[in-house]
Structure 1
Amino acid sequence: MMWAVALGDFDITTGGVALGLFTGSTYALLAAGLVLVYRSSGVINFAHSSIGLLGAAFMSLAIQQYGIPYWLAFAVGVLVSAGAGAATEVVVIKPLSSSPKVIPMVAMLGLSTFFVVLSLALNPDGLSGEAFPQPAGMPTGSIGSLLITKPYAAQGIVAPLLLLGLGVFLWLSKTGLAIRGAAANPDVASMSGVPPRTMMVWSWALAGAVSAVAAMFILPTVGVVTPEALGPDLLLRGLAAAAIARFASFGVAVAVALTIGVIEQVMTTSEGAKGWIEIVILAAVALALAAERQRGRKAAEPWTQVGAPHRAPLRPLSIVIAVIAVAAAATVPMYANASDAVNATLVIAVAIVGISVNLVTGLGGQLTLAQFALGGLAGAVSIRAAADNVPFPVAVVCGAVIAGAVSALIAIPSLRVRGPQLAVATLSFALVTSAYLLDRGWLLGTRQSPSRPSGSIGGIDLASGRGYYWVALAALVAVLLLVRWIRRTAFARNVVAVRDNEDAARAMAVSAISTKLQLAFAGGLVAGIGGAIYAHAYTSLSSANFPVALSIDAVTVAVIGGLGSLIGPVLGAAYLVGLPLFLQPPAEARAGIAGIWLILVTQQPRGITGLFDAIRNRMRPHTVTEEAHEAHLEREPFSAQRPSGRLLDVETVTRRFGSITAVEDASLTVDAGEIVGLIGPNGAGKTTLFEIVSGFTRPQTGRVVFCGRDVSRLGPTARARLGIARSFQSAQLFPSLTALETVLVALSSSHDEKRARQLLDEFGIAQYRHVQVGSLPTGLRRVLEMTCAFASSPTLVLLDEPTAGLSSTERESFGDSVMAWRERTGVGIVIIEHDLPVLTRVCDRLVAMNLGRVIANGTPAEVVSHPDVVASYTG
């Protein structure tokens, strides 16, 4: 039965829905492959659709040049993409496995470009529309007014069967079960004789094969194949489905992909709906991110291997080199023609946007793929403002501020979740900007808009390509100085703290949400400056000048140059953008350029600046030296008001996780100047009770009263500001920061370095103040964590197994320090500890827990000899 429904400007027909389900099935294949790879390696494979395109190129070549039958060539293409997927895991993912997840994901962005360019170079005329081979043996027909061609029949018949086969393989076969098991728990799988790394290679190979099938069924139905069409645009359909499924559920991903296909086909029935499908996808992804809740704690990532190493700065030499470089760059217009001057300006603009990526990704650890889209918005606003006779510098600032505000806005949905979700949201926004926003009449419109500014600044003619280059160079220098200043502030220290260990930062009164939003605004602001400079470099402008590929290039130049390096994006832009602009190489050479930087990043995650650092360290091995231990600092008098009376009253709190009761009707009191020990076997609920007191977990019943105030609904940051400090069992702190910087985070001020040094001296670790925390042994990290806990002049301190990993001498010193701080400040202290001799020496009272309940409360002697306590340990 055929039917049709009119919905406003849209027509919903039987044929349209069928076509949407057909194309949606190919999106479902892409989504399934993305989920498979993410579950096995924790990486979003941005090269997923491009790996499939490579297999499609081989398949088309085999048929058109060698006359191989369709389905045999089809199998060849599938095997090529499967091999490319497996090779990607072995050659790229494995070498980068010890790097933060951002680095391999950026490598996937570069690999995507490499595979697309390579595919077009292999078969430039056989990858689109009617030129691409049609599936053999497929039926044809019609559904209503829709003509079912062979490619659509393949999408509707073969793709669903392959999805079903993939599901059967993963859920019923031994290899499939091994793949899923290794992805769920690599350690258990390894102990069971299943090699996780081998299973990961299998996952990538399967995903590659699936993407090849999707590409070979999609290509006959599209027009001209471009890097945009088979890159971010197509990938977004599968990526959005996988993201909404939280990269976990194959079934949900398939259902969402089919829905996207149907909605897309319905929207094509209205001429005025260009770009609407991208808006729908962005809204769906944003809603999915906003609805998602954090599950568990995020494992620390090895940012110390990527960020710039701590070393004694060579300030005079650095200044000399910088002045020479700027002076040399300023001479470019003197010997370059107008066209080359414009090209150099474009390189500078991309470098500025790359610097914004370095802020958001290099400093904050959040992968963003919308920086050039933000730059496009800023450029459009700046052009509009300049057209209304707003002075050029003011127009650029207006555009940059709006870009910063929009950047913060699109970061909001992903604030409460951790992982790569921001990358999905920002890629969606980049496509919305390119396909819809910039074409609005109140921005650039659909026609070419004049963009070169008129007038002059300091005698420099802005309308001249050579003159405008000097303006762009000045903007680059200003941005570099601005970002250098930002990196030296307490704000930057807090950003790194949140990146390295968000929970520890929140426990030190650092607002993770506020910090991320401020960083997003700063990154958008800098991207806006770069985008405005880029926009005004052209004599006329349209949305075509801001493709999504530029946002990907902005990330790439930051990684090539070196994440965490101030000058890295400039070097990366010169390589990735400058070489193609000035040399105009053929497609094969462009693939080579991409291949070279991929090799660089896999071997040196710090990029070009990392190579320079390695060379410098070999030439000057004694550059980094530990400063001599300073003389003992005079202890400053403790100025905070001593607390008094009841500090903490936990009233019959209960916390369940599903069917497991972690804490049940537990109560705890702490008075000022009292040291309370919390004991019990593993799983007794001690740490969960700490989580409830510190605000990381809310009780389902009962309440927490601190200094007479009910704080049950306050988060950890608010409680820390009220005076509750805590440590964690892991004692990870902030691996990328030095010990001194870590204490400064706890002090919440950039002007307390003297106080921070004094605290390090008091706790006996002053000699390690310039050592990165990630390089400290566990015992010293615990001492440092305790230093941070007392640094903020708290009223109540919660210490979770503070002596784990300490020697007997260090444990004695720990007890002395705790009692000394209690006498000095009157602070209340609660200690979770398994070392009973330490607790009986320092504690006024012990509270014993078992199976979530408090079973004893009294003096150390009373609790230790309590029958229920003895039974809880002995069974």
Structure 2
Amino acid sequence: MTRADIRLGAAAIAVGVIMSVQSEFRLFLTTSAIITAILARSVGFLYSDARMVSLCQVSLAGIGGWTVGWFALHTRVPVEVALVLGGIAAVPIGVLVGLPALRLRGVDLAVVTLGLAAAIQITVFNRGFPGERDNFLAPRPSIAASELRFLWFTLLVALVLELGLRALRRQVVGTSWAMVGQSERTTAAAGRSIILTKLTAFAVSAFVAGIAGGLLALQVGRVSARQLEPIDSLVIFALIVMAGAAGALGAAIAGTFSAWIPELLRMLGWSQDIGPLVFAVGAAHVLSQDSDGIAGQWIALASKFRRRRHAPSSNRRETHKCQRPSSRNSSLVVRDLTVDYGSVRAVGGVSIDVTPGQVVGLIGANGAGKSSLVDAVTGYLSATEGTVHLGSRPLHSLTAHQRARAGLARTFQRERTPTRLSVDSYLAVAARRRTTMEQRDWLLAQFDLPDSRTRIAQLDSAARRKLELVAALCSVPAVALLDEPAAGLTDTESRLLGSALTCVAGEWGIGLLIIEHDLRLIRDVCETVVVLDQGQSIAAGPTAPTLASEQVVASYLGIERKVT
């Protein structure tokens, strides 16, 4: 348990103690605020971590409440167990809601989930809550019969859910949520299934929402269709965005606003419809500013008074020897690879071999087909013709993340590191347990990067590009395909990068295929080079004579050959 978890528990106890001397009505409102905070948390982590929008959470909460009512009416299952079953019942519906996220993002996903909420409203809730015709009320747990005891019970459930969610976020599955929110391609390159990552996020979110709905049913005795309108999910989303979607503080603020602002408006004699309007305006402002909401502003302000921030050191650390990880010892064999975009042939019949420990360069002018070739080899594009083998294993039927797990790593032209993570969390996912922390620290030292406790957001763009290289190498792939690793680096930084790549390739036996426009780096580190021109391989062989050939000079540097 971390210090943050201990502080969270202390805050929950403080809330319970303070409310112990309040009236029954205020206890009821505070309990409502906690339940709404749980529901807002289910929306918030899905949005802040995985960058997916679900406007179906109130309906998922309704599934949880409906399940609690059914078990209370038809079985002798303890209410506490029925509450957990309500969360579990919401999971398959949450996964179903998450299926559109495999193809859709942003507004499109939000619209589809809102439509699914309307469908659940019509097919389930409009038929009534269990026991509604018999005027049956779902009983509260025997240990939480009074308003005060139920407040403590709700606080305990909220605390357990938050601690569980934090524990998940520290594991590989939670780190993968943050990675898929930043870049699906990076997630696949780390060997993680995009489908599984997204659906697990929706499943956990649905479980939390189902628990919130079960608590609501226990608080009021039953839920009704009027309490579960699809538009309420939109209000909850606006609330959590305005309050701060990234953590428990934002959820607590959202719950407090939801319960107390309507009461404040009632006391003032104003329309309670003003509340959702305020939430919508606040959310629009936060989204337009790309900020972390009210909670993020408070945390940033408090951090200025609590601690001094230290920029990560960029001084090169002493590189020590570490135990060599087990190598895969498989060669990449590409034969007659062809990639067509409709009638345009981007790559035409290219063949490349990369053996363990060998560094091969792939060069050519812009538009020569280099990135298309790498995309096809690593599974991000479907090749029209040709074969790709890693050792004796054909890769044509494998997806991108399956090829990464088979031993084919890659980086991208555009830096895609998940800035919300720390270095060690990011590398732990990418390594897939193939390297130890000591070996990953050795890699960080080789590439002159800060220690693993550093937040990625603290690194500059050049350091993030090098970190992406480390992530590709720390799983000890058979071959790593590096797309312009020296882009944006100075000459000195490029030379140091070349030394690090040569060292890692030799020490760990990793084959490297480097796409690069920096010919000095290609000359320094590559044993052989392949030159592309308009998708065709025009030269291949040892680096120095290949780069000096007239055909390569004419094609790559744009110098016309003299006709005699």
Report the TM-score, using the length of structure 1 for normalisation.
0.59
- Structure 1 pair 335/826, CA: closer, same or farther in 2 (3 Å)? closer
- Structure 1 pair 569/601, CA: closer, same or farther in 2 (3 Å)? farther
- Structure 1 pair 358/861, CA: closer, same or farther in 2 (3 Å)? same
1:692 — aligned with what? 376
Choose from 66, 91, 95 the match for 1:380. Answer: 66
> 1:560·1:569 contact (CA, 8 Å) conserved in 2?
no
Give the CA deviation at 1:615. Answer: 2.8
- Structure 1 pair 525/633, CA: closer, same or farther in 2 (3 Å)? farther
2:211 — aligned with what? 529
> 1:445·1:542 contact (CA, 8 Å) conserved in 2?
no
- Structure 1 pair 713/433, CA: closer, same or farther in 2 (3 Å)? same
Give the CA deviation at 1:466. Answer: 4.1
Letter in 1 for 2:309: V
1:764 — aligned with what? 448
- Aligned residue runs from structure 1 range 313-462, under 5 A: 315=3, 319=6, 322-332=9-19, 334-337=21-24, 339-387=25-73, 388-440=75-127, 444=130, 447=133, 450-453=136-139, 456-457=142-143, 460-461=144-145
> Are 1:625 and 2:295 an aligned pair?
no
SS of match in other structure, 2:106: coil
2:532 — aligned with what? 849
Give the CA deviation at 1:742. Answer: 2.7
- Aligned residue runs from structure 1 range 168-179, under 5 A: none
> 2:140·2:219 contact (CA, 8 Å) conserved in 1?
no
Equivalent-residue separation in structure 1 for 2:239 and 2:38 (angstroms): 10
Equivalent-residue separation in structure 1 for 2:279 and 2:114 (angstroms): 25
Choose from 795, 802, 819 the match for 2:478. Answer: 795
- Give CA-to-partner distance per residue, 1:307-344, whole Å, 9 cap, x none: xxxxxx9938x84575255233345354312x443333
2:163 — aligned with what? 481
- Structure 1 pair 504/431, CA: closer, same or farther in 2 (3 Å)? same
1:661 — aligned with what? 345
Give the CA deviation at 1:612. Answer: 1.4
1:861 — aligned with what? 544
Choose from 487, 491, 498 the match for 2:173. Answer: 491
1:270 — aligned with what? none
Equivalent-residue separation in structure 2 for 1:850 and 1:844 (angstroms): 20
Which entry has the higher C-alpha Rg, 1 or 2?
1
SS of match in other structure, 1:799: strand
Choose from 706, 719, 722 the match for 2:390. Answer: 706
Equivalent-residue separation in structure 2 for 1:719 and 1:762 (angstroms): 26
> 1:439·1:446 contact (CA, 8 Å) conserved in 2?
no
> Are 1:606 and 2:287 an aligned pair?
no
- Structure 1 pair 404/589, CA: closer, same or farther in 2 (3 Å)? closer
Relative contact order, CA 8 A, sep 6+: which one is greater? 2
Letter in 2 for 1:700: T
1:816 — aligned with what? 499
Structure 1 unaligned runs (5+)? 1-312
Letter in 2 for 1:490: V
- Aligned residue runs from structure 1 range 245-324, under 5 A: 315=3, 319=6, 322-324=9-11
Give the CA deviation at 1:626. Answer: 4.7
Equivalent-residue separation in structure 2 for 1:671 and 1:423 (angstroms): 47
SS of match in other structure, 1:567: helix
> Are 1:838 and 2:526 an aligned pair?
no
Equivalent-residue separation in structure 1 for 2:544 and 2:435 (angstroms): 46
Give the CA deviation at 1:437. Answer: 1.5
Equivalent-residue separation in structure 1 for 2:436 and 2:255 (angstroms): 38
Give the CA deviation at 1:633. Answer: 6.5
Equivalent-residue separation in structure 1 for 2:282 and 2:83 (angstroms): 37
> Are 1:682 and 2:388 an aligned pair?
no
> 1:446·1:543 contact (CA, 8 Å) conserved in 2?
no
- Structure 1 pair 440/576, CA: closer, same or farther in 2 (3 Å)? closer
SS of match in other structure, 1:815: helix
> 1:434·1:544 contact (CA, 8 Å) conserved in 2?
no
- Structure 1 pair 616/414, CA: closer, same or farther in 2 (3 Å)? closer
> 1:490·1:749 contact (CA, 8 Å) conserved in 2?
no
Paired residues in the alignment total: 552
Choose from 329, 332, 342 the match for 1:643. Answer: 329
Letter in 2 for 1:716: A
Equivalent-residue separation in structure 1 for 2:11 and 2:554 (angstroms): 75
SS of match in other structure, 1:541: coil
Give the CA deviation at 1:795. Answer: 0.6
Equivalent-residue separation in structure 2 for 1:597 and 1:753 (angstroms): 45
- Pick which of 319-328 and 556-565 moved more: 319-328
- Give CA-to-partner distance per residue, 1:531-558, whole Å, 9 cap, x none: 1001221134322221123222322332
CA RMSD of aligned residues (A): 2.8
Give the CA deviation at 1:445. Answer: 8.0
Give the CA deviation at 1:770. Answer: 4.5
> Are 1:829 and 2:512 an aligned pair?
yes
Structure 2 unaligned runs (5+)? none
SS of match in other structure, 1:335: coil
Equivalent-residue separation in structure 2 for 1:592 and 1:371 (angstroms): 19
Give the CA deviation at 1:771. Answer: 4.4
1:576 — aligned with what? 258
- Structure 1 pair 761/865, CA: closer, same or farther in 2 (3 Å)? closer
> 1:848·1:855 contact (CA, 8 Å) conserved in 2?
yes
- Give CA-to-partner distance per residue, 1:346-382, whole Å, 9 cap, x none: 2221111111112211221101101110010111011
Give the CA deviation at 1:631. Answer: 6.8
Give the CA deviation at 1:804. Answer: 1.6
> 2:498·2:524 contact (CA, 8 Å) conserved in 1?
yes
Equivalent-residue separation in structure 2 for 1:361 and 1:448 (angstroms): 40
Letter in 1 for 2:373: L
Report the TM-score, using the length of structure 2 for normalisation.
0.90
> 1:407·1:523 contact (CA, 8 Å) conserved in 2?
yes
Letter in 2 for 1:537: Q
Equivalent-residue separation in structure 2 for 1:454 and 1:566 (angstroms): 26
- Pick which of 635-644 and 584-593 moved more: 584-593
> 1:664·1:852 contact (CA, 8 Å) conserved in 2?
yes
Equivalent-residue separation in structure 2 for 1:413 and 1:639 (angstroms): 40
Letter in 2 for 1:553: V
Letter in 2 for 1:659: S
Letter in 2 for 1:315: R
Give the CA deviation at 1:679. Answer: 1.1
> Are 1:470 and 2:168 an aligned pair?
no
- Structure 1 pair 448/379, CA: closer, same or farther in 2 (3 Å)? farther
Give the % identical residues.
29
Equivalent-residue separation in structure 1 for 2:529 and 2:405 (angstroms): 27
Give the CA deviation at 1:511. Answer: 1.5
- Aligned residue runs from structure 1 range 234-245, under 5 A: none
- Structure 1 pair 860/472, CA: closer, same or farther in 2 (3 Å)? same
- Give CA-to-partner distance per residue, 1:609-643, whole Å, 9 cap, x none: 123124314434x4323577897474321130361
1:36 — aligned with what? none
